[in-house]
Amino acid sequence: MHIPDGFLTPPVWVTLDAAAVPAISYLARRARTEIEDSRIPLLGVMGAFVFAAQMINFPVGLGTSGHLVGGALLACLLGPAPAAMVMTAILAIQALVFQDGGILALGANVLNMAVFGVFVGYLPYRYFAARHRRAAIFAGAFLSVSVSASMALSELLLSGVRMGTGIILVSLALFAASAIIEGLITVAAIEAIERLHPSWVRSNESTGTPAFAAVGVAAILLASFGVVFASASPDGIWKLAEQTGIASRAASLVETPFSGYSLQGISNSWMAKAGAGVAGVLLIFGVTLALGRLSRRRHVVGAERKGA
């Protein structure tokens, strides 16, 4: 799902970067009014959980894999604007620290997954959850992945990537399969979280330390041991790149000790991946927690100035 650098032409990625900046700025301002003090830790722990879950690829058929994107999951738990902010932080850290998704293509990935993916994923929950809760959550997750994937496919077409009708149809079918699995995982995850702490789902009540710790531990376990069971097959974007002959265009603008979700200098494969995964979980938790506190502080200061 993450588009690397080299796949999009300069006119396309420049335009998308330019469009992403005001979109995220607006959503950040919206998030300030939606984040409650008691729920700030939830941004951190859910950001860490989604990051860890994205590391675990599952097979979807024809030698292709997928992974949880988490846009609908975050939106149902946090609200759309805070969810978009958390997803943007995840995508930025993945690009800058783990070289998963391009730095120049960051605007495209943010628009695809953090803006449109989150808001499309939230709409069924917003309007239909009261009557058809499971179906609304499933539909939101399915639409979130489908829209994000379709946008990525369109951006590649706009960049001149030649795809026959057969390749496009197969890609859409594989994205749909991944979206179905995303829907099932999202429903199961939200129901599990509700059992731990019902007020977490779009509520302003206190989070509760035991439930908070449980989700945090789940994130660390996913990052540490989930990689053992992850599929080694390429995801939809990389499979498409292989079929269209553009895989060789992929470029990394920076190199870090965590490139490819593997801690450099460690010979043991599992330890290298687990070390990078746990480091990522802690980094995402810290960054999203700090963003939540900063947003809340700015909102409070702004309200005080208006009241003065």
Q: How far apart are the first and last CA of the chain?
A: 47
pLDDT tens-digit readout, 253-305? 888 999 989 998 899 999 999 999 999 999 999 999 999 888 878 765 566 56
Q: What is the rounded distance in angstroms from the CA atom of residue 115 to the CA atom of residue 246?
A: 26
**In whole angstroms, how far apart are CA 92 and each of 108, 110, 243?**
12, 8, 27
pLDDT tens-digit readout, 64-78? 999 999 999 999 999
pLDDT of residue 138: 98
The answer to whether residue 1 scores a pLDDT higher than 80 is no
More confident residue, 252 or 113: 113
pLDDT tens-digit readout, 102-112? 999 999 999 99
Percentage of the chain beyond pLDDT 70 is 92
pLDDT of residue 308: 55
- What number of other Cβ atoms are within 10 A of residue 204's Cβ? 11
pLDDT of residue 215: 86
Reduced 3-state DSSP string for the chain: CCCCECCCCHHHHHHHHHHHHHHHHHHHHHHHHHCCHHHHHHHHHHHHHHHHHHCCCEEEECCEEECCCCHHHHHHHHCHHHHHHHHHHHHHHHHHHCCCCCCCCHHHHHHHHHHHHHHHHHHHHHHHCCCCHHHHHHHHHHHHHHHHHHHHHHHHHHCCCCCCHHHHHHHHHHHHHHHHHHHHHHHHHHHHHHHHCHHHCCCCCCCCHHHHHHHHHHHHHHHHHHHHHCCCCCEHHHHHHHHHCCHHHCECCCCCCCHHHCCCCCCCHHHHHHHHHHHHHHHHHHHHHHHHHHHHHHHHHHHHHHHC
Q: Can you give the pTM of this predicted structure? A: 0.93
Closest alpha carbon to 75 in 2, 182, 176: 182
pLDDT tens-digit readout, 111-136? 999 999 999 999 999 999 989 999 99
pLDDT of residue 204: 45
- Looking at every residue in the chain, the average pLDDT score rounds to 90
pLDDT tens-digit readout, 19-50? 999 999 999 999 888 888 777 888 999 999 99
For residue 223, give both structure tokens. Answer: 């990052």
pLDDT of residue 46: 94
Please state the rounded mean pLDDT for residues 161-165. Answer: 91
On whether the CB atoms of residues 44 and 215 are closer than 8 A, the answer is no
